[in-house]
Each structure stands twice: as C-alpha cells, then as structure tokens.
C-alpha cells in the first residue's frame, strides 16, 4: 500500500474540540484575467516552451499569486506570470515561473502523470519537483474542472476534479501538448489545448481559472485564488478566479473520435490438475468511439474491450476479517468516474459502502472476464450532471453472460451544492440485483460541508433486500477541524455492482484536529488529533469501539513524522481464518494499537518512507512494518524498493508474511516509457512480474508491449505458473 494513502490510517472518526477560530475570507480582490483572441493572420505561438513569440506580448498576465504555505496570504517569494491566448481551435496558456536561484530548481520527473498525485485525503498534491498546475472550469459550474500540470522538463499531467475535490481523477487522459524550457530567470512553459479536448458552454465567455505552483526547495505552495487555509485549496473550484474574453469559441458540434486497436500475443499457464503447461494464442480487434452528442454531453462506446496495458495490482496481505479493496486502473472506467461516485469512502481502508464499483465489471475472483462492450454517456445538461453506463460481460468461470447498467443524475442547488439520485442494476438469466438511492452535498459556508445518502437494495431470490444511509459533517479551518458521521448498513444489504465492507452495522465516529505553527527547529506544523469510533449491530449489540490520539509533525522541508496510540475492544460474532492461515474464534477481544509514520524530504533525489504498527488483539499480537526507498537518477530513470513484514502470533497459530516490490521506470522522453514491477509474496510463495513498454507516437495513439509472468509453489519459487505477452496498437482518428 502506498505511503500517501496510509499516512493517516489512524484517523478513524469522532472527536469533540471547540471551533473558536473565526473563518477569515480571502483578502485579495477577485480581479479576472483577460484571454486574448489571436488576430486573424497572426501566427499562433510555437509550442517550444519559450514565451518569445510576439503574440504573447498582446496578452495581459496575472502575477499576484499568494502563499497557502508557509505564510498564509503573503505574496509569493518567487513571481509567476500566466497569460492566456486562443484562436478558433486551441486554447494557449503561457507560464513564466521566475526564480532568483534557477540552479536550485528541482526537475527530475519526465514521465507522464507523475508531476502530481493524490494526498492521503484524496486532495491534489505535487510530487517532488518544482511544478505548476492550471485549473479550467469550462462550464463555470463552480464544481468540476480539468487540471493540467507540468514541470521544467515539460512532463505532462492531466486530471479531472469532481464536486470540488470529492474525486481527483489522476488517471484521466486528455489530448493536448505542453513544452517547457529553463531560462536565466527561472523556467517557462507553453500549454496548447484543443477546444475539442475540453467541455464548455459555447455561449459562455467566462470560465473558472486557477493557478497552483510549488517552489519545491522551500516547500512553498502559492495559488492565484483559494489560497486560504480555512476551506480553501486548489480543489475548491468555487473559489477559482475568472477567465474572461472567451467569445466566439467554436461550437462543440458532434465531433467524433475513433480509437481502434489490434492485439496479438500468447499465454502459457500451468494446469493444476495435470501439472502441464498449455499455450493459448491471444488475438483481438476492437476499439472505442467518442462522440459529443450536445455541448457538454459525451458518448463513449467500446467493443471487444481490452485492458492489456493496465498495470498489475499491488500484492497485499490481509490481516483483517474483511475483503481487500483494489483501486480501478482501467482507462475506460476512469474517465468521468467521479460522476458515478455514490456512498462513503474511508481515508485509511476499504470504503464502507459504494453503490457502484467498476471493478465488478470484467473482473472475477478467478481472473479477468471478457467484456463484450458497452457505452457510457456523461456530462452536463443545463444544471444537471448526468451519467449513464451500460456494459455486457461474457461467460467465464461458471458465471453467465451478465448485463450491468448504471444511471446517475445530480441537480445543481445554489452555488456549489447538489441533490442527486442513482440506480445500479446487475442482471443475468439466473439472477438480478438492483440498488437505488438519493444523496446530497452542501456547503452552508466556505468551511462547512454536509453530505449524506440513503439507499435500498433488492435481489431476485432470497435475501439481498436492505438499506444503507449516512450523514456526515466536516468543518475545517486553518487552526481547528472536526469531522463527524453516522453510517447505517442493514444486515441484508447487497449492492452487487458496488462494494460493501461489512453489513449489519450502525457506526458513529469522528476526528478532531488542533493545529499549531511553532516555527522552531524547522517545524512548520504540529497537529494534535483525537479520534474515536463506536460500531454496533443494527439491533444495538456492541461490535467495536476505538479511542485514540495522535501527534503529527510536519517540517519546512516537507518531511513529516507521526505517532499514534489507540485503545479499544472488538467482538467477533463469526469466526474466521486470518490470512487463510490462523483460526480466530468467536468472542470479545481487547484491541490496542501503537504506530508511526515517517516521510523524508520529497525534493531529495533519494526519499524514504516508513510506517509500522504493533497491535494487541484476538488474544495475541499482530505486527506490521513497511519501508520504501525511492531514487531518481537524473531525469530518465526512477527506481524504488518497498519491503514489508507482517507477523502474527495468536493462540491458534503464528506466521510471518513478507512482501517485497521493486519498480524501475525509464522515461526515454515525454513520449517513450518503460516500466517494470516485480513483487514477491512470501506467504503465498509467489513472484509476479509486470513489464510495460509504451510509445505515444502521436497524442492519443499508443504502442504497448506488455510481459507478465508468475512463478512459485510450495516446492520451488522457480516453478512457472503463468506467462503472457501482449502487443497492442491503438490509433486515434478525429473527425
């Protein structure tokens, strides 16, 4: 599990601290930026990273970026200028990131989609380089936006922000171009974004715009708008500034994109019954179609859907009694995935309730299931955000051919609130399951968010008819924060097209934070946190209670250290086998945990992260320790080694489980990449490797070569279990 996603594993829910600090508003007047149309006959800028084209001098600039960190509201220590031009086909953004010490600019990333990442709470976060990000809200709906980012190497990054950061989808991939150059006074970048790659109102001449820069050696974060710590941040689309002057934009029309593919390869697998290796050729032809039905409403269709290029899942050891949760990595399901978000996620572990989880389509417990095809319609219709998805999967692993259908509607209420509804349906000739619900998301003030949902499920046959509901309140200022929630999931609730961690619960909990900024010994932030949780069955019988405290220290360099202690008690109503190895009987158990997290300065060429936990529970002891060392060798090569040890010592048995993962990434250019992942799971005695070569020979068109291998058995790690090779070519044609 990546460190960024587990850093706040201890933050379960409930606490009560008084919120006495006043909410202070952003103090800078919201003056807009004027976009300038390139005059007829004038030459558009050459996208080479240099802002020396004459046309750039015709565009005014914004340069009043202010700090969010380390000094809220102070002027940025290094100036940034941003200009916007456009013509009948393309939006151009020019950035000049001044720096009085250009030799100290950190620029090691060259690979695509590495400039930014998601923080532990899902918010946008920069990686280890100096970088800049541009937010574009084409519908000016104050909710959703496209994010484009780059660094001094011209590395490309794009993402989608949904519902003011409820989802930051870093796996979305747009068609655009950027180039960067070092200069004597810093670095500069030029973005060229075709209008047909964006979604916008053709009659609107005002877009939402924000600019976010990281000056890495100072760990300084500066924004044009939304820099306040109380309810602010880059993901708050409603706090973005205004980009004016976008008149006479091309009407989106019914533009069409075709992306066919051809696939060739072969698999070798060991038959468990005969212990013989069998070979199977793999060939395929298919593709995807994208068409704009109306301005802002897009149809995506796919046939013979293939995911050969998708990276393998990370190995995990399950030391809980609940199912593991693996994130979606398949590109077709990731675009506009935030529209289909309904339910509740957890910062530290699997989500307690999701009505729709796309990995239920095309992935079974025994392996991948052929996806015959399907279609998705997503986008904006007036003040509504809508999403419709229909897919079909073929027979596999004794599962019949199955249809999957999802409908989602969200209605804008006021400035940045919504009221929504959703229906999912999984249906075959033998069974059917339907879930339906309503939800809302409201911002009564800039710092206060209230959200909730209510849902019902129905299943053909016995059981599966139940409900779930949640109400959550989150209030965050620069000094204090409090989050509270109550969640209820019925004992018969079954969302077969979604994900449910556990049923028959009612859970009340929260977390409170008090932040200090001592400015001594290189310390920037000290967070004191209190958290607790109370979980009972729906009939009121206690299942779990937890209470704890944490100390989180963040340094000016970007390094951090966290220590926490939690006490509690849990009751098992059903026995289970821990990691399929040790029997744990029914009964009540004390549960106390002590743990830590460490993270080094992300600007260094070599970084180190570690986290560990010692837990007394189930009448014995569980321990976890994980470390990751990563190095960037210049701009082209990155390598990391993650080693984890899990040990169990319970009355009915003991074992040790080690995980080791090595990653090597080679970026030959911003278009040519080689990535390898080799993982060792000592508990299963398995070595799995995944090697992927990708060449982007034109924007949206790719060549992939993927090699997979799995070895291991109780007898020998060298025993070949499976091996596969795939050659895949995709080609984008726009009409």
Q: Single out the residue of 645, 640, 642 nearest to residue 655, CA to CA.
A: 645
Q: Single out the residue of 184, 156, 196 nearest to residue 47, CA to CA.
A: 156
Residues in the chain with pLDDT values less than 50: 1-29
Q: 246 CB contacts (<8 Å, ≥6 apart)?
A: 35, 86, 204, 205, 206, 207
- The phi and psi torsions of 311 (rounded to 5 degrees) equal -65, 145
Distance CA 727, CA 306 (A): 12
Which residues does residue 505 pair with via DSSP β-bridges, in sequence order?
Answer: 489
Q: Is-contact 306 284, C-beta < 8 A?
A: yes
Residue 271: other Cβ atoms inside 10 A: 9
Distance CA 226, CA 240 (A): 6
Distance CA 184, CA 179 (A): 17
Query: Which whole-number Å values give the CA distances from 34 to 58, 60, 130, 242, in the listed order?
Result: 11, 7, 26, 9
Q: Give the pLDDT confidence score for residue 254 in this predicted structure.
A: 66
Query: Which whole-number Å values give the CA distances from 238 to 26, 138, 281, 514, 691, in the listed order?
Result: 13, 13, 52, 26, 41
Q: Is-contact 656 645, C-beta < 8 A?
A: yes
Distance CA 707, CA 47 (A): 35
Distance CA 652, CA 41 (A): 81
Q: Single out the residue of 164, 243, 214, 230 nearest to residue 26, CA to CA.
A: 230
Query: What are the chain's domains?
Result: 33-244 (2.60.40.1190), 260-282+668-735 (no CATH), 504-514+524-534+549-664 (no CATH)
* Length of the chain, in residues: 735
Q: Is-contact 319 497, C-beta < 8 A?
A: no
Q: Single out the residue of 360, 657, 370, 349 nearest to residue 507, CA to CA.
A: 349
- In 606-714 the beta strands, taken as DSSP E runs, fall at 606-617, 620-633, 637-650, 653-667, 672-681, 686-698, 701-711
420-437, pLDDT tens digit by residue?
999 999 999 889 999 999
- DSSP labels for 9-46? TT--S-------SPP----S----EE-EEPPTTPPPPP
Q: Is-contact 90 178, C-beta < 8 A?
A: no
Query: Which whole-number Å values give the CA distances from 638 to 114, 627, 635, 662, 676, in the listed order?
Result: 11, 17, 8, 11, 11
Q: Give the pLDDT confidence score for residue 350 in this predicted structure.
A: 87
Q: Single out the residue of 255, 247, 237 nearest to residue 201, CA to CA.
A: 247
Q: Give the pLDDT confidence score for residue 27 in this predicted structure.
A: 37
Q: Single out the residue of 62, 80, 65, 61 nearest to residue 26, CA to CA.
A: 65
Q: Which helix (H) or strand (E) holds 576?
A: strand 576-578
∠ CA 238-240-242, rounded to 5°: 115
Helices (H) and strands (E) in the chain, counts: 2, 49
Q: Which helix (H) or strand (E) holds 433?
A: strand 432-442
285-308, pLDDT tens digit by residue?
999 999 888 888 889 999 988 887
Residue 688: other Cβ atoms inside 10 A: 21
Q: Is-contact 79 98, C-beta < 8 A?
A: yes
In a 13 Å sphere around the CA of 16, the CA atoms on its Cβ side amount to 1
What's 683's DSSP letter? T
- The phi and psi torsions of 67 (rounded to 5 degrees) equal -80, 140
Q: Which two tokens stand for residue 80?
A: 């940034």
Q: Give the pLDDT confidence score for residue 548 in this predicted structure.
A: 96
373-412, pLDDT tens digit by residue?
999 999 888 889 999 999 999 998 888 999 999 999 999 9
Q: Are strands 363-364 and 207-215 parallel, antiparallel or unpaired?
A: unpaired
Q: Is-contact 659 670, C-beta < 8 A?
A: no
Buried b / exposed e over 133-159, threshold 16 CB at 10 Å, is bbbbbbbbbbbbbbbbbbbbbbbbbbb
Q: Is-contact 107 153, C-beta < 8 A?
A: yes
Q: Which two tokens stand for residue 655?
A: 């074992």
Q: Is-contact 582 570, C-beta < 8 A?
A: no
What's 339's DSSP letter? G
Q: In 3-state terms, what secondary structure has residue 338?
A: helix
Would you call 521 exposed, middle or buried from its count of C-beta atoms within 10 A (0-12, 13-18, 19+)?
exposed
Distance CA 365, CA 291 (A): 34
Distance CA 447, CA 229 (A): 9
Q: Which helix (H) or strand (E) holds 3?
A: helix 3-6
């Amino acid at each position: 599990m990546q460190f960024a996603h587990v850093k706040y594993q201890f933050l379960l829910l409930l606490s009560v601290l008084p919120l006495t600090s006043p909410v202070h508003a952003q103090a800078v007047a919201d003056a807009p930026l004027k976009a300038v149309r390139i005059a007829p006959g004038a030459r558009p800028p050459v996208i080479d990273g240099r802002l020396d084209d004459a046309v750039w001098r015709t565009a005014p600039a914004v340069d009043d970026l202010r700090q969010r960190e380390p000094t809220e509201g102070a002027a940025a220590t290094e100036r940034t200028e941003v200009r916007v031009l456009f013509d009948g086909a393309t939006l151009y953004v020019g950035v000049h990131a001044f720096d009085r010490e250009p030799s100290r600019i950190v620029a090691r990333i060259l690979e695509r989609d590495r400039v930014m990442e998601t923080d532990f709470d899902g918010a946008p976060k920069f990686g280890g380089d100096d970088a800049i990000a541009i937010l574009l809200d084409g519908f000016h709906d104050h909710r959703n936006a496209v994010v484009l980012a780059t660094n001094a190497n011209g590395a490309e990054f794009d993402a989608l922000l949904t519902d003011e950061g409820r989802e930051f989808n870093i796996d979305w991939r747009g068609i655009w171009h950027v180039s960067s150059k070092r200069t004597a006074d810093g670095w500069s970048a030029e973005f060229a974004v075709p209008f047909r790659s964006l979604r916008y109102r053709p009659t609107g001449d005002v877009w939402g715009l924000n600019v976010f820069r990281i000056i890495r050696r100072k760990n300084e974060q500066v924004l044009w708008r939304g820099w306040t710590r109380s309810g602010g941040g880059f993901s708050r689309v409603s706090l973005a500034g205004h980009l004016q002057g976008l008149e006479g934009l091309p009407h989106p029309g019914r533009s069409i994109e075709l992306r066919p593919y051809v696939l060739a390869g072969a698999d070798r697998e060991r038959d468990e019954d005969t212990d013989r290796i069998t070979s199977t050729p793999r060939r395929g032809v298919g593709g995807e179609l994208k068409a704009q039905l109306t301005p802002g409403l897009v149809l995506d269709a796919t046939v013979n859907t293939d995911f050969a290029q998708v990276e393998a899942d990370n190995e995990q050891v399950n030391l809980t009694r609940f199912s593991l949760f693996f994130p979606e990595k398949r590109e077709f399901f990731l675009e506009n995935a935030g529209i289909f978000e309904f339910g509740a996620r957890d910062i530290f572990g699997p989500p307690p309730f999701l009505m729709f989880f796309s990995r239920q389509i095309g992935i079974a417990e025994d392996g991948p299931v052929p996806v015959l095809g399907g279609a998705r319609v997503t986008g904006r219709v007036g003040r509504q955000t809508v999403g419709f998805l229909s897919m079909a999967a073929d027979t596999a692993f004794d599962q019949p051919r199955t249809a999957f259908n999802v409908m989602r509607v969200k209605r804008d209420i006021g400035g940045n609130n919504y009221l929504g509804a959703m229906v999912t349906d999984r249906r075959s000739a033998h069974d059917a399951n339907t879930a339906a619900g309503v939800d809302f998301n409201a911002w009564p003030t800039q710092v206060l968010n209230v959200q909730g949902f209510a849902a019902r499920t129905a299943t053909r046959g016995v059981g599966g008819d139940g409900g779930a509901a949640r109400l959550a309140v989150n209030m965050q200022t620069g000094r204090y924060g409090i989050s509270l929630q109550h969640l209820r999931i019925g004992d018969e609730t079954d969302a077969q097209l979604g994900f449910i961690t556990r049923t028959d619960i009612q859970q009340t909990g929260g977390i409170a934070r008090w932040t200090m900024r001592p400015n001594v010994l290189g310390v920037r932030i000290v967070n004191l946190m209190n958290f607790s949780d109370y979980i009972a069955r729906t009939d009121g019988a206690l299942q779990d209670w937890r209470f704890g405290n944490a100390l989180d220290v963040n340094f000016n360099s970007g390094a951090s250290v966290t220590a926490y202690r939690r006490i509690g008690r849990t009751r098992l109503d059903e026995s289970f086998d821990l990691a399929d190895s040790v029997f744990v009987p029914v009964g009540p158990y004390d549960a106390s945990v002590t743990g830590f997290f460490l993270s080094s300065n992300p600007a260094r060429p070599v970084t180190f992260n570690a986290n560990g936990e010692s837990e007394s529970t189930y009448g014995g002891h569980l321990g976890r320790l994980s470390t990751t060392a990563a190095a960037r060798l210049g701009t082209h090569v990155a390598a990391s080694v993650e080693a984890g040890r899990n040990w169990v010592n319970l009355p009915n048995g003991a074992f040790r489980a080690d995980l080791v993962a090595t990653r090597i990434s080679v970026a030959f250019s911003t278009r040519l990449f080689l990535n390898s992942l080799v993982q060792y799971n000592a508990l299963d005695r398995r070595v799995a490797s995944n090697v992927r070569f990708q060449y982007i020979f034109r924007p949206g068109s790719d060549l992939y070569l993927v090699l997979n291998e799995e070895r291991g058995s109780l007898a020998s790690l060298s025993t070949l279990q499976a091996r596969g090779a795939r050659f895949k070519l995709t080609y984008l044609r726009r009409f």
